[in-house]
Amino acid sequence: MNAKLRWLFLSLLMLGASSVAYAQAWPDRPIKFISSQAAGNATDTIARVVAERLSSRLGQQVIVENRPGGGNVIGTQAAARATPDGYTFFFATAAALVTDPYTFKSLPYDPMKAFVPVSRVAEVSFLVLVNPNVPAKNLAELIALAKAEPDKFSIGTSGHRRFSGMVVARLNKLAGTNIAQVPYTSMTPGIQDAITGRIPLVILSVPEAAGSLQNNLLRPLAVTSLERLKSHPDVPTVAEMFPGFDFTGWMLLTAPTGTPPEVIARVNREMDAILKEPALVERLGRMYFSTPGAGSLQQARDYVQGQHAMWGKLVQEIGVQPE
């Protein structure tokens, strides 16, 4: 073996030994989950539930740090710029990873390059709801009414460039309707406007809709997930009328690119075990969320890439212009 080959062989051995040593020592201090969402909302709650369970499995505290604002930009940028040493992770939403790149003219980071998917975490569906005085009993009847009286129907959303607004735009395109969107910065007044009849329709995540449904203040017509919900098995999916229609909100744990692969693999394994715990699955269910499980690292990566491509196609089809 010549000197050059010997040097390369020794370097590889040293690198391998260093990686093993790092993996064995990690973690030796607290770990941080950065969230681009405000404290107290559903994403924050789930992040803290997961952080608590991960803390017990790793033997180090996992802290949730909220960095809300800027339409996810503040928190996402902080996570993207974090040192990739295995002690900072980004508890990401679908908006932060796959829709913001299409709805912002520019971002100070590329989510698809800045992060490595570590684990899928949870999903949430959305419901199309009507004021009880609206005569439509199902989606087909609503579409027929909206076509017959196009100026009569409007729907409360979180905005044209936000998740629910883009889902409504897609539904309009498929149905051949032009139901006008009424955007709300917070869905609380949107819910009240739908209950009082100021607007006839609203689209809400299942947790947001829970109180109104329990009190029969709003009536669900359709759910945006591909399959019916266990919590609302009698509510048809949009896909039953328009095959393939599948839009759910989701959360996913990522790491800054450059994070040691052995750390990413360890967290993926721990998250997989956590998300299979019956008590955690039940707890998420009580919050009207479901979990697909962590998935393998490749499955998590493929999922994010698939969602990124799907939202890119959707934005192009409905003509959303970035701002």
Cis? peptide before 27, omega within 30° of 0 = yes
Q: Does residue 72 register a pLDDT over 80?
A: yes
pLDDT > 70: what percent of the chain? 93
Does the pLDDT of residue 1 top 50, yes or no? Answer: yes
With 50 as the cut, is the pLDDT of residue 141 above it?
yes
Q: Give CA–CA dist 313/317, Å, rounded.
A: 6
Residue in 29, 77, 63, 53 with CA at minimum distance from that of residue 280: 53
User: According to the model, what pLDDT value does residue 10 have?
Assistant: 55
pLDDT at 21 over 90: no
The strand ranges marked E within the chain are 31-35, 62-66, 88-93, 115-124, 126-130, 154-157, 180-183, 201-205, 219-223, 249-256
- High-pLDDT (> 90) share of the chain, %: 89
pLDDT for the residue 5: 61
Q: pLDDT tens digits for 234-267?
A: 999 999 999 999 999 999 999 999 999 999 999 9
Residue 36 to residue 64: CA distance in whole angstroms: 10
pLDDT, tens digit, 9 for 90 and up, residues 83-108 = 999 999 999 999 999 999 999 999 99
**Residues 109-113: what's their mean pLDDT?**
97
Q: Given this model, what pLDDT does residue 124 score?
A: 96
Q: How far apart are CA 299 and CA 119, in angstroms?
A: 9
For residue 8, the model assigns a pLDDT of 55
Nearest to 92 by CA among 147, 135, 37: 37
Please give the mean pLDDT across all residues of the chain.
Answer: 93
Assess contact for 191 and 129: CB atoms under 8 A.
no
Residue type at 62 in one-letter notation:
V
Segment 201-212 shows an average pLDDT of 96
> Which structural domains are found in the chain, ordered by start?
30-123+249-318 (3.40.190.150), 126-240 (3.40.190.10)
pLDDT at position 3 is 61
Residue 189 CA to residue 275 CA, distance in Å, equals: 34
- pLDDT score of 17: 46
pLDDT at 269 over 90: yes
Model pLDDT for residues 306-318, shown as the tens digit of each residue: 999 999 999 999 9
